[in-house]
Chains A and B, each alone.
Chain A
Amino acid sequence: AQTVTQSQPEMSVQEAETVTLSCTYDTSESDYYLFWYKQPPSRQMILVIRQEAYKQQNATENRFSVNFQKAAKSFSLKISDSQLGDAAMYFCAYRSAYGRQGAQKLVFGQGTRLTINP
């Protein structure tokens, strides 16, 4: 079974600075998808960024980018120019590319609580 580990329960960063959240995963599969979700105080889960395992290029969405190291099974999230609205729980998640699509469940890490200091 796949597992996802986020080793940083809490992180803090000064507004406008850059922060990196860590995520490692364990799988024997070669094709899969990785996601970062944000959960603000409203508790609504919001997709931040996704990465396909067979794509070597790191995904980027505006101020959010990932460092995907497939051999090391690492998938970190970098937030540049941190803003107060970035304060939230961040979850790393894994999804297999095999099997029927509706059965491809998300496996989540434990989450990292990010605080932005003004």
Chain B
Amino acid sequence: DGGITQSPKYLFRKEGQNVTLSCEQNLNHDAMYWYRQDPGQGLRLIYYSQIVNDFQKGDIAEGYSVSREKKESFPLTVTSAQKNPTAFYLCASRERGAYNEQFFGPGTRLTVL
């Protein structure tokens, strides 16, 4: 089955530690996205990538980093510089075509203790 997988579903880290969230897609989509979801604020874009080895900052990129070494994978690292990392993180991908929508993964809940 084609889709987007994110792992793990729940992640706990101590304050000051970097942590990497996984996102893999087998939809052969060129574009991939990372969103952060906080209560009452909807989804906000962190980073996006249009093609392999290329990515751009979104609206709230500070304290985050990404890589896009393979078309299928777009991992997100939450660094110790992110002041409020506890949130729900969603990965998405999209096929070329103006009308095409973004498909979302199941998300990862990150809690920093």
Q: Chain A interface (Cβ within 8 Å of chain B)?
A: 4, 9, 33, 35, 42-47, 50, 52, 91, 97, 100-103, 105-106, 108-111
Contacts A101-B97, A105-B33 given; indicate if A43 touches B48 (C-beta within 8 A). Answer: no
Residue in A42, A43, A102 whose CB lies within 8 Å of B51: A102
Decide: B107 and A43 in contact? CB cutoff 8 A: yes
Decide: B41 and A110 in contact? CB cutoff 8 A: yes
Residue on A nearest B95 in the bound complex, by CB? A101
Give chain A residues whose Cβ lies under 8 Å from the Cβ of B102: 106
Q: Chain B interface (Cβ within 8 Å of chain A)?
A: 30-31, 33, 40-45, 48-51, 56, 58, 88, 90, 92, 94, 96-99, 101-102, 104, 106-107
Decide: A105 and B45 in contact? CB cutoff 8 A: yes
The secondary-structure label for the interface of chain B is: strand
Give chain A residues whose Cβ lies under 8 Å from the Cβ of B107: 43-44
Residue in A4, A45, A110, A111 whose CB lies within 8 Å of B104: A45
Contacts A43-B107, A91-B43, A106-B45 given; indicate if A101 touches B33 (C-beta within 8 A). Answer: no
**How many Å from the CB of A31 to the closest CB on chain B?**
9
Q: What are 5 pairs between A and B in contact, CB < 8 Å?
A: A33-B98, A45-B104, A103-B48, A105-B45, A108-B43
Give chain B residues whose Cβ lies under 8 Å from the Cβ of A42: 106
